[in-house]
């Protein structure tokens, strides 16, 4: 019988996995909660998408708008059952249950933004939000925009903002130049290997220089101010450990602020599948297999290394999940390993400094949903993590701690990714029985 | 792209086909449309369906993420407040 492979996430990793699994001879179901394939990297306006749809979608069972809301472990020798809800939210959605022979998880990552005073003001966005709106819909989040945080991702975001007509006042990298340079130049011969990514970043840097957008290192946004919406940003110089240099504060008038300090992998699905983690990412072997039988992982859930690395991992995962022989993978494995090296260097060049919490004030919100402030958390933090959550409701709001989870984990020492329900589902939908797995949504 | 019309709390707004509700509201100049438990205004934060700051009611269905839902011609969108939620 043909192997049935279910792939969750149609970003660079999931699309590459689908192509490889089909090539290996498997029957493939590719799911994405979004109605467009491409993930975060290949986001584009709907009309452009209609002419540029990836060709693999014709050769597999493609379920746009198919969100996996639960994984059910029913037999330790097999991958879990996949519970899917499909259709537009607010419209008619249908439930399905899939029982694949192999499962590839490629759900990607989302921005990690550390809290700072005023970050809840409208007009403060993650850098990813600005990117998604600019790339996907041509919408500029503001006219005068400051981009800040850490990592090379800030560069394409500034470029996209310029492309939709925003004035970008500056791009601020929180790490000092010494940290960034040490990380990037540690092993120059390895940098050359990731030439694709390096050339892309160089092009962004050249664009910013041409448009006279200053790129400053060792400077961060430590406060957003405004009445009902952001009107100004307070920036300050940081030391290598991200402690604020007193007296270095400056204010800039802005109508939007885009801040991202790194990425958090979307670990809900791997955790629900029982996959072991290491250093906050899914642990995978040479073949992208996780510790759970028949479950593979690819892309940013295994490490933050950009789209080329995600693609290479997807090829390996899809091919092996589809029953292909791992011996045939030498070249792509090398590319995958280069991607992993790149991830390590990226983490070294753009770490989150240990002393960032120095810019928090007692009334700074940590949990945006429940509006729990830092002062309240500190007062309750000497009791158990569970007690803190129940007493302050931090991490118990609608986002289920996706935003504040890593921060709370740092403060309270808990696992931020254990959620019984991965994607929101309404009670009425839960009450309906799932439809037959053969029916396409 | 084809123009579409939606309403927000009864006020008509225009946008174009393919836009998300959040994209349409931002392009129309709005920055916030939801209220947090304290009554503080909220709009888009993450833009990709993670933070739940952008929730709206669409054609009577509560808690729809505006950043993840495409606007459809004739959509009746109403703002939500957690301050009044049961
Ligand atoms: C908002 C944002 C914008 C970005 N833009 C860029 C950019 O312009 N340039 C760049 O170099 N890098 C960008 N990145 C970095 C980006 O994450 C990687 O370069 C690349 O897209 C990672 O590929 P991936 O396949 O691992 O994951 P993604 O591209 O993130 O794809 C994962 C897919 O899985 C789907 N998914 C997740 N959970 C579920 C579920 N439960 N059920 C069904 N589907 C699910 C998601 O809808 C998504 O489409 C961006 C990141 C973010 C968060
Ligand atoms: S803006 Fe975060 S969920 Fe919509």
The DSSP secondary-structure symbol of A298 reads -
pLDDT above 60: residue B86: no
pLDDT above 50: residue A439: no
A307 shares a domain with A268: yes
Last residue of a domain, one of A261, A295, A312: A261
CB contact (8 A) between residue B20 and residue A136 = yes
Phi, psi of A317 (to 5 degrees): -60, -45
pLDDT band at A72 (very low <50, low <70, confident <90, very high): very high
Last residue of a domain, one of A278, A307, A324: A324
Q: Find the domain containing A404 and state its range.
A: 360-412
- Dist. CA A311 → ligand 1 center (Å): 12
Which residue do the tokens 């310029």 mark?
A162
A246 shares a domain with A140: yes
Minimum CA–CA partner of A91 in chain B: B61
CA distances from A32 to A113, A359, A414 (A): 24, 38, 29
Name residue A219's beta-bridge partners. A237
Calculate the dihedral angle through the C-alpha atoms of A272, A106, A10, A352, rounding to the nearest 10 degrees. Answer: 110
Q: In sequence order, which ranges of A54-150 are alpha helices (DSSP H)? A: 127-137
Q: Taking residues A396-407, what's their average pLDDT?
A: 86
Looking at residue A404, what is its pLDDT?
87
Burial B33-59 (b: 16+ CB within 10 A, else e): bbbbeeebbbbbbbbbbbbbbbbbbbe
Looking at residue A185, what is its pLDDT?
74
Q: In sequence order, which ranges of A322-404 are alpha helices (DSSP H)? A: 330-349, 374-380, 385-392
**Has residue A65 been placed in a domain?**
yes
A280 shares a domain with A239: no
- Rounded to whole angstroms, the Cα distance separating A9 from A1 reads 25
**Residue of A38, A90, A423 to mutate when probing chain B, most B C-beta within 10 A:** A90
pLDDT band at A195 (very low <50, low <70, confident <90, very high): low
pLDDT in tens, A102-152: 999 999 999 999 999 999 999 999 999 999 999 999 999 999 999 999 999
Domain count, chain A: 3
A117 shares a domain with A257: yes
CB contact (8 A) between residue B23 and residue A133 = yes
**Has residue A241 been placed in a domain?**
yes
- Rounded to whole angstroms, the Cα distance separating B46 from B42 reads 12
A249 shares a domain with A269: no
pLDDT in tens, A14-26: 999 999 999 999 9
- Rounded to whole angstroms, the Cα distance separating A229 from A306 reads 32
**Has residue A341 been placed in a domain?**
no
**Has residue A226 been placed in a domain?**
yes
A247 shares a domain with A139: yes
A204 shares a domain with A73: no
A82 shares a domain with A53: yes
A183 shares a domain with A101: no
ipTM: 0.96
B74 burial via Cβ count (<10 Å: 0-12, 13-18, 19+): exposed
- Rounded to whole angstroms, the Cα distance separating A383 from A408 reads 14
- Give ligand 1 pocket residues (Cβ under 6 A): A 8-14, 31-34, 39-41, 67-68, 106-111, 128, 131-132, 153, 156, 266, 269, 299-300, 306-307, 310, 422-423; B 48
Is the model more confident about A64 or about A196?
A64
A285 shares a domain with A157: no
- Dist. CA A309 → ligand 1 center (Å): 13
**Has residue A334 been placed in a domain?**
no
Q: Which CATH number goes with the domain that contains A96?
A: 3.50.50.60
- Helix and strand totals (H; E) in chain A: 14, 22
Q: Taking residues A194-201, what's their average pLDDT?
A: 72
Closest CA to A71 of A402, A438, A311, A418: A418
pLDDT in tens, A260-291: 999 999 999 999 999 999 999 999 999 999 99
- Rounded to whole angstroms, the Cα distance separating A182 from A347 reads 11
**Has residue A40 been placed in a domain?**
yes
pLDDT above 90: residue A441: no
- Rounded to whole angstroms, the Cα distance separating B63 from B52 reads 8
**Has residue A441 been placed in a domain?**
no
A202 shares a domain with A246: yes
pLDDT in tens, A215-249: 999 999 999 999 999 999 999 999 999 999 999 99
pLDDT in tens, A171-186: 999 999 999 888 877 6
Which of A142-146, A251-255, A345-349 shows the lowest per-residue confidence on average (mean pLDDT)?
A345-349
Which of A40-54, A196-210, B47-61 shows the lowest per-residue confidence on average (mean pLDDT)?
A196-210
A130 shares a domain with A105: no
Last residue of a domain, one of A208, A240, A261: A261
Q: Taking residues A403-428, what's their average pLDDT?
A: 67
Q: Which of A47, A89, A399 sits opposite B50 (nearest CB)?
A: A399
pLDDT above 90: residue B26: yes
- Atom 26 of ligand 1: nearest residue by CA position: A299
**Has residue A282 been placed in a domain?**
yes
Which residue ranges form the domains of chain B, and what is each CATH number?
3-81 (3.10.20.440)
């Amino acid at each position: 019988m043909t192997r049935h492979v279910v792939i969750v996430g149609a970003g660079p990793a999931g699309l590459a996995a689908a192509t490889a699994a089909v090539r290996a001879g498997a029957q493939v179901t590719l799911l994405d909660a979004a109605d467009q394939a491409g993930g975060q990297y290949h986001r584009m306006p709907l009309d452009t998408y209609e002419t540029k749809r990836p060709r693999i979608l014709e050769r597999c069972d493609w379920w746009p708008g198919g969100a996996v809301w639960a994984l059910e472990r029913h037999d330790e020798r097999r991958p879990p059952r996949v519970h899917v809800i499909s259709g537009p939210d607010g419209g008619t959605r249908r439930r399905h249950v899939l029982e694949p022979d192999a499962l590839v998880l490629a759900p990607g990552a989302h921005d990690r933004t550390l809290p700072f005073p005023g970050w809840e003001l409208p007009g403060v966005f993650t850098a990813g939000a600005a990117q998604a709106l600019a790339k996907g819909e041509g919408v500029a989040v503001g006219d005068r925009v400051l981009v800040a945080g850490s990592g090379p991702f800030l560069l394409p975001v500034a470029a996209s903002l310029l492309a939709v007509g925003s004035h970008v006042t500056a791009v601020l990298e929180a790490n000092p130049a010494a940290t960034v340079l040490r990380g990037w130049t540690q092993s120059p011969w390895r940098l050359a290997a990731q030439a694709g990514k390096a050339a892309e970043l160089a092009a962004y840097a050249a664009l910013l220089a041409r448009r006279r957008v200053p790129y400053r290192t060792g400077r961060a946004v430590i406060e957003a101010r405004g009445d009902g919406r952001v009107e100004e940003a307070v920036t300050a110089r940081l030391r290598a450990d991200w402690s604020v240099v007193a007296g270095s504060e400056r204010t800039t008038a802005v109508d939007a602020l885009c801040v991202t300090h790194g990425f958090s992998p979307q670990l809900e699905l791997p955790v629900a599948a029982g996959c072991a983690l290491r250093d906050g990412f899914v642990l995978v072997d040479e073949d992208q297999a996780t510790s759970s039988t028949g479950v593979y992982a690819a892309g940013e859930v295994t490490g933050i290394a950009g789209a080329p690395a995600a693609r290479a991992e997807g090829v390996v995962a899809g091919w092996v999940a589809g029953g292909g022989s791992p011996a045939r993978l030498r070249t792509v494995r090398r590319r995958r390993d280069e991607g992993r090296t790149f991830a390590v260097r990226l983490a070294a060049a753009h770490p989150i400094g240990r002393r960032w919490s120095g810019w928090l004030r007692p009334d700074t919100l940590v949990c945006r949903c429940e509006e729990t402030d830092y002062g309240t958390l500190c007062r309750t933090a000497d009791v158990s993590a569970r007690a803190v959550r129940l007493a302050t409701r931090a991490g118990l709001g609608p986002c289920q701690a996706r935003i504040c989870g890593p921060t709370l984990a740092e403060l309270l020492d808990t696992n931020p990714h254990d959620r019984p329900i991965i994607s929101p589902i309404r009670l009425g939908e839960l009450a309906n029985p799932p439809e037959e797995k053969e029916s396409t949504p | 792209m084809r123009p579409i019309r939606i309403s927000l709390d009864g006020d008509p707004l225009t946008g174009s086909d393919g836009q998300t509700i959040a994209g349409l509201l931002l392009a129309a100049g709005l920055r916030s449309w939801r209220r947090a438990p304290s009554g503080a205004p909220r709009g888009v934060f993450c833009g990709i369906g993670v933070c739940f700051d952008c929730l709206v009611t669409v054609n009577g269905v509560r808690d729809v993420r505006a950043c993840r839902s495409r606007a459809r011609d004739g959509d009746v969108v109403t703002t939500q407040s957690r301050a009044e939620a049961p």
